Amino acid sequence: MPMQHDAVEVISAKRDQHELSDSQIDWVIDAYTRGAVADEQMSALAMAILLNGMNRREISRWTNAMIASGVRMDFSTLSRPTADKHSTGGVGDKITLPLAPLVAACGVAVPQLSGRGLGHTGGTLDKLESIPGWRALLSNEEMMAQLESVGAVVCAAGDGLAPADKKLYALRDVTGTVEAIPLIASSIMSKKIAEGTGALVLDVKVGTGAFMKSIDAARELAETMVALGQDAGVRTVALLTDMSTPLGRTAGNAIEVQESVDVLAGGGPADVVELTLALAREMLAGAGRSDVDLADVLASGRAMDAWKAMIRAQDGDPDAPLPQARESHVVTAPSAGVLTRLDAMAVGMAAWRLGAGRARKEDPVQAGAGVVWHARPGDAVTEGAPLFTLLTDEPARFDRALESLEGGYDIAPADTPFTPAPLVIDRVG
């Protein structure tokens, strides 16, 4: 049982820019999880942390206290090493789907506990639930058996992992404290460390469609999370990757699944392939398997076989047709030239308004809704040619989606020089 403190004492300490002691941190997380610290008190503490920050010791202790609020998983009985990946969320970010089976086909187990989308960023579980029959909820026994037999599992996290985070996450969402880097880092890392993976690769997005708009904020978050992983004995690295332009050519649910299958079949958009391979190399290195030729694993069909086995193991039919939206609307290019900008936030908001995402956790999503873009920055466009296809079951949604895309792209004269921004900006760890 942690040493006794009281909430006002802990709030006042952080308000007055003092460090919180280990026992204060242990007590406040435990008491909040039990309901002995009220939401308004934890809100005040979260705001004090947002304004005054935490040092590495405080963040590490805070993270450990959140882990201690629940269970820890243990994969040491598996016959292969484990590696996982976490993305801070973006638009068209379907990377988990091709990445997990690719890494599994290389002999490394991938226990990917994923979430649902909220706002303009898509959720991995929502995408996979567009596959007929696929289920997100697995017991621990089912998860372990699938990791041993298939090597990859993407499923919903159980309530037992870091329950303190579940309470605090919901509170931050409604109190303007989501952006506090110590709280973002501890939220992500408490779940990932409790999950028990041996190696972890973080994909920290930066740009207009990301949570972190500036490179400095993204780097601070990446460095904080890498330090937390290292302090917990998990081999952790982070890649800072661009999210000013959406990934691939689709944002939605079923359409992103189709794009992922294209990648596993040896095709797919170049940027999705590039990021999948970059993250796979880091995961394999963390698990001690740097000797694998990833291009060969893709070309041989072994990654596709792992995908189909992973979907079937969760009662999905990988060969069934994917759902399609009932209605579509094509947006044509207003002029000829070269596309120089495609704003990730504009595309993400359009997909969300078409029904691909949700405003509240309990909202349903449409499997077939989303946006397809027919050109990426650097591509030549012809006046009147299709630029976007909008997809939804409810045509009343088109107007709001079109509003989102207004001002979301630039077309310059054909002779305008264009230099693409690098997809992988930096590596931390």
* Catalytic option among 187, 190, 244, 404: 187
CA distance 212 to 381: 30
Contacts of 227 (CB under 8 A, 6+ apart): 56, 59, 60
CA distance 196 to 337: 51
Structure tokens at 427: 């590596």
Task: Please report how many Cα atoms fall inside a 13 Å half-sphere around the Cα of residue 223, on the Cβ side.
Answer: 9
> Contact at 8 Å (CB) between 322 and 130?
yes
Q: DSSP secondary-structure letter at 158?
A: P
Distance of alpha carbon 32 from the chain centroid? 27
- State the sign of the Cα–Cα–Cα–Cα dihedral 216, 218, 220, 223: negative
DSSP assignment of 113-128: EE---BTTB--HHHHH
Q: Respond yes or no: is residue 14 known to be catalytic.
A: no
* Catalytic option among 61, 80, 85, 86: 86
Structure tokens at 6: 């009281």
Q: Respond yes or no: is residue 23 known to be catalytic.
A: no
CA distance 188 to 286: 19
Q: What are phi and psi of 314, to 5 degrees?
A: -110, 30
* Catalytic option among 94, 191, 192, 235: 191
Distance of alpha carbon 2 from the chain centroid? 33
Give the count of beta carbons closer than 10 Å to the beta carbon of residue 52: 16
Q: Respond yes or no: is residue 317 known to be catalytic.
A: no
Strand order from edge to edge, sheet including 199-206 = 83-87, 199-206, 235-242, 424-428
* Catalytic option among 84, 165, 262, 343: 165
Q: What are phi and psi of 83, to 5 degrees?
A: -145, 145
Q: DSSP secondary-structure letter at 109?
A: B
Q: Respond yes or no: is residue 172 known to be catalytic.
A: yes
* Catalytic option among 166, 172, 205, 249: 172
Strand order from edge to edge, sheet including 380-381 = 380-381, 337-342, 409-412
Q: Respond yes or no: is residue 244 known to be catalytic.
A: no
Structure tokens at 318: 């990988």
Active site residues: 86, 165, 172, 187, 191
